[in-house]
Structure 1
């Protein structure tokens, strides 16, 4: 069992980490959550409903952005500061090989965060409040680790300092991947999720003994090829990269459903 004291130490240690990079935009996170919701087992769905009932919802999409939203809640500032650096991982080179002591010291990265909060979520000795918070973090962090620029190796803060022109405006590569690519479809997130789900199950590589690290390594390897030639992003880039972004959403949704079915079922 993970003790409250260990949980507090885990959070406080995160104050020492570097500033965060934001995640998929709200639509991306809600799409991942909705894709997972559609494939929950009856047992897992019942547990999700029970845990979320005090927040007057029963759907994962309604809490998918909570881990980002707390930055704007004055009452949640200590939690935001303690967890803001758990949304990503910094690899050291393009080989993208995960080495915990180097890339995630003391578990302080998105891989370590998933290890921690999945354990809390699955621990029936924890309070419902602790497990509800863990559920919200897990839903969000599974989305984060599938956003390629949340697991990069370049010295540009996950593309945040890589300036680009997109749709005639100044932006950065991270923001384009967070929301710009998805916004180009001009779909409400609910319709987008329905369309992606209608494509059927996405093919996944064989399961790993360390799945969260494997997902991060996948994202890192993808960043090798998603930087544009130059700093202007036009229609050819969107046409080439949007299918990859959509595939990562589908992979995240399928994996989140499997994780929750296993942990809560």
Structure 2
């Protein structure tokens, strides 16, 4: 039975589109954030999303990429990542003409703070902000510009053909065999007050720089990935999910400080 479950899991990984973190990872970041939201932010989020909440809303930006509308087909894809070539900073690389994750956060933050914006527009902006902050903490969403954030770096994961991006999006997370709520509970219990305070940096450029630094350490010399690769990197996955959750809250606490 265990072999059958593992085979199905790896088969799904091999064909799944590589976006960011996967559904479980994004939901974890949204659920962690709830533990650190201010009362004002909680009230504002409820007024915008109603019962949906951050965990549910965190995956919406990936789901909507199947929409035939021009925004989703022509514009939104660039908002999920940044490109920082090795040896460069984000400031040196600059944003491309179509924008990227960092310019998108600025754009959607303006909408979220605009008193004249519709609830529908604010909901789109809020869901995207939550999603993008998660994206920027996945190391391969700060791509080096040579392999589409690891999508073109072919590997095998427990014998199944896939790519490095998919391993980081969902392979290692799914391998934990936890629901998003179980993973959230385990991670939140381990975040110390000192760590949470240290992580509350709301500058997206900092998050992207951290991811780029990690990115340059995770490309394997041997493309056949098994337990050793997971052993070496699963703690980094958990760290980045935890940091993303805390920073989603920190960012929204500032942006929604005056909301009610």
TM-score (norm 1): 0.84
Q: Deviations over 1:213-233 (max 9, x none)?
A: 111111111111101121111
Instruction: Give the aligned partner of residue 155 of structure 1.
Output: 146
CA distance in 2, matches of 1:192, 1:80: 32
Instruction: Give the aligned partner of residue 3 of structure 2.
Output: none
How many residues are paired up? 239
The reply to whether residue 51 of structure 1 matches residue 51 of structure 2 is no
Q: 1:90 aligns with which of 72, 79, 83?
A: 83
Q: Deviations over 1:103-126 (max 9, x none)?
A: 303570111111111221122232
Structure 1 stretch 147-156 or stretch 134-143: which is displaced more?
147-156
SS of match in other structure, 1:99: helix
Shift of residue 46, structure 1, vs aligned partner: 0.9
Q: 2:74 aligns with which of 77, 81, 84?
A: 81
SS of match in other structure, 1:158: coil
RMSD over aligned Cα atoms: 2.0
Instruction: Give the aligned partner of residue 41 of structure 1.
Output: 38
CA distance in 1, matches of 2:73, 2:180: 25
Q: Structure 1 residues 207, 213: CA separation in 2 closer, same or farther (over 3 Å shift)?
A: same
Instruction: Give the aligned partner of residue 249 of structure 1.
Output: 241
2:66–2:72 Cα contact (<8 Å) kept:
no
2:18–2:166 Cα contact (<8 Å) kept:
no
Give 1:112-261 correspondences, 5 Å limit. Answer: 112-201=103-192, 202=195, 211-261=203-253
The 4+ residue runs of structure 1 with deviation greater than 4 A are 203-208
Q: Deviations over 1:129-187 (max 9, x none)?
A: 21111001101000001100000215111000111010220010000000001112110
Gap regions ≥5 residues in structure 2: 1-16
